[in-house]
Structure 1
Amino acid sequence: MKMNNLIRKLTIVAIVATLGISLVACGGTTQNKSSETKKVASTLDKDELVIGLDDTFVPMGFKDESGKLVGFDVELAEAVAKKLNKKIKFQAIDWSMKETELNNGNIDLIWNGYSISDERKEKVEFSKPYLNNTQVIVTLADSNIKSKSDLAGKKVGAQNESTAVDAVAADGNIMKSFDGGKIVTFADNNDALMDLEAKRLDAIVVDEILARYYMKARGTEKYKILDENFGKEQYGVGIRKGDTKFVEAFNKALDEVIADKTAGEISKKWFEEDILVK
């Protein structure tokens, strides 16, 4: 009898243990499914969109003398958000961490003169392009630098984690010819331009849109843009990877603000002409 009782108890323990393992496994599957659902949920379902930007990037998104956030991208974002029937919140971010901020869910969009590149396409979804841009070489007006070859032995700067750095790195071995064999990087373009003015740099590589706006504000006679450049590119808006539902809705809203001339008027305000990609 004792042996039979022992066998019965062991059988019950085995059944309970088996059930426990099954429940844990089911719970894990449910949790994974819940996590997976959260991961693929579309930004389109949100009432408020958090837009990440470098708030020193003139004229796309920057703080004016009163501390108010202004710029072409800021106004275009407000117009598109209105079409989407969404509220928006702008959030200054470390530009070198932009894709991480997006994919971790801390922001919903990267919208601030964000250049489309193959490398970035692996990390984010892009909207349709809305502006053309060129990575130009800027020097002081009295500089003897006239071409890319003249950059040999010179200190050249650019914003960290920008397509300016990527474009220079992709242009043969030119970076190896720079002073120190590398490009000097900065947290933002404003710091790079200030170092150029102070003659701590000989040249910078920067978005043409920013360069021309900055030069106009500071005095075009102080600078020159070389005829040679590091390539053309286009701006787009970064959207979380896999969220094709929102990409489609976003592009439709962007097309609408271009078609009804709202975007064109914003462009004329900031660039004195409509330069949007149609």
Structure 2
Amino acid sequence: MTRRSFGALMLAALPVGMLASGCDGAPVAIGGLKGTLRAGVRADVVGFGYLNEGTGNYYGMEIDLVNQLADRLGYGEVEFVTVLPENRKEMLLNGEIDLIAGCYSIADSRLENFDFSPAYYDDRVIAVVQNSSLFEGIDDLRGCTFGTMSGANAAPLLSIKLYEIGFTNGEVVTANEDNSDVTFDTWNLVQYPSYQELSDALESGEVDAMVLDGAIAHTYMDDKRTVLPDFVVAEQSFGVATQKGSELSQPVSEAVQEMLDDGTIAALVDKWD
């Protein structure tokens, strides 16, 4: 989906001779209006990035954030590109998108490849269970199966947490070739290619708990489910990711910090909460 501002329409109306090329090769109109900002966003997280397939429009806090960011950086257009946990890293590294604003948590392992803006949203990785399971805490899940989304960081964070609290000794008993189905000494891990399939697995009883970002969990909650009490896998914060050392990194960080300082991001969070 592409958003056009009045400035972008004026840019399209200019003769070819009135266009110039910026240092990064993007078209820039006289007056400094840049071309298109390609933003990697989620299409399946209600309240953050959600695609209405009927209209082709994206909605959510991160969509509004990117639009604000584009305006402040002087872009005439925004092209929203759906990203998934399994492809977002490569898409940004390959230059298919200019940034990621899609429930992408700031992590040390990711800082090796990307720059991140200041955090614009604080979240937790949690476990969700069916009410019918009658699980009252993490100790009730010994010998059970946990499900996560393939490509997300929930699986490694869960493994670390369970080891730290003495739930497991971390020993791998069996594992398939791609580690999407792993049996540890006291628990099993199964990873799914989509959050919908993960949610379906919880409903069918294929997994006993699904572990995911709290922001994403809201999309799949109903009155038959609850967050596992007194168990937080990890605290995390979302930031806007750009290529390491790119010309976009500093302007994006400065613009996000401005939006934090002037209350813009707080207002967006309130709007979509």
The TM-score range, normalised by the shorter chain, is 0.7 to 0.9
Q: 2:252 aligns with which of 246, 250, 275?
A: 250
CA distance in 2: counterparts of 1:65 and 1:90, whole angstroms = 13
1:109 positional shift: 0.8
Aligned to 2:128: 138
Q: Which amino acid aligns with 1:204?
A: M
Q: Structure 1 or 2: larger strand share? A: 2
Map 1:148-187 → 2, pairs under 5 A: 148-171=138-161, 172=163, 173=168, 176=172, 180-181=183-184, 182-187=188-193
Distance 1:145 1:42, change over 3 A: farther
Instruction: Count how many residue pairs are aligned between Structure 1 and Structure 2.
Output: 228
CA distance in 2: counterparts of 1:174 and 1:148, whole angstroms = 15
Q: Structure 1 or 2: larger helix share? A: 1
CA distance in 2: counterparts of 1:42 and 1:242, whole angstroms = 17
1:89 positional shift: 0.7
8 Å Cα contact 1:44/1:246 also seen in 2 = no
Distance 1:134 1:41, change over 3 A: same
Deviations 1:203-223 (A, max 9, x none): 0111112223542xx33x533
1:42 positional shift: 9.3
Aligned to 1:269: 271
Q: 1:112 aligns with which of 102, 112, 116?
A: 102
Deviations 1:68-113 (A, max 9, x none): 3211111111111111111211111342121111111111111111
Aligned to 2:217: 211
CA distance in 2: counterparts of 1:111 and 1:75, whole angstroms = 10
Aligned to 1:58: 46
Aligned-residue Cα RMSD (Å) equals 2.7
8 Å Cα contact 1:116/1:126 also seen in 2 = yes
1:191 positional shift: 2.2
Bigger Rg over Cα: 1
The DSSP-based 3-state class of the residue aligned with 1:211 is helix
Pair 1:83-2:72 in alignment: yes
CA distance in 2: counterparts of 1:123 and 1:94, whole angstroms = 17
Identity of aligned pairs, percent? 24
Q: 2:227 aligns with which of 215, 224, 238?
A: 224
CA distance in 1: counterparts of 2:237 and 2:71, whole angstroms = 24
CA distance in 1: counterparts of 2:107 and 2:27, whole angstroms = 24
TM-score by length of 2: 0.74
Pair 1:92-2:82 in alignment: yes
Map 1:1-12 → 2, pairs under 5 A: none
1:150 positional shift: 2.6
CA distance in 1: counterparts of 2:25 and 2:201, whole angstroms = 42
8 Å Cα contact 2:150/2:194 also seen in 1 = yes
The DSSP-based 3-state class of the residue aligned with 1:139 is strand
TM-score by length of 1: 0.73
8 Å Cα contact 1:154/1:179 also seen in 2 = no
8 Å Cα contact 2:150/2:191 also seen in 1 = yes
CA distance in 1: counterparts of 2:182 and 2:261, whole angstroms = 48
Pair 1:193-2:196 in alignment: no
Distance 1:240 1:149, change over 3 A: same
Aligned to 1:35: none
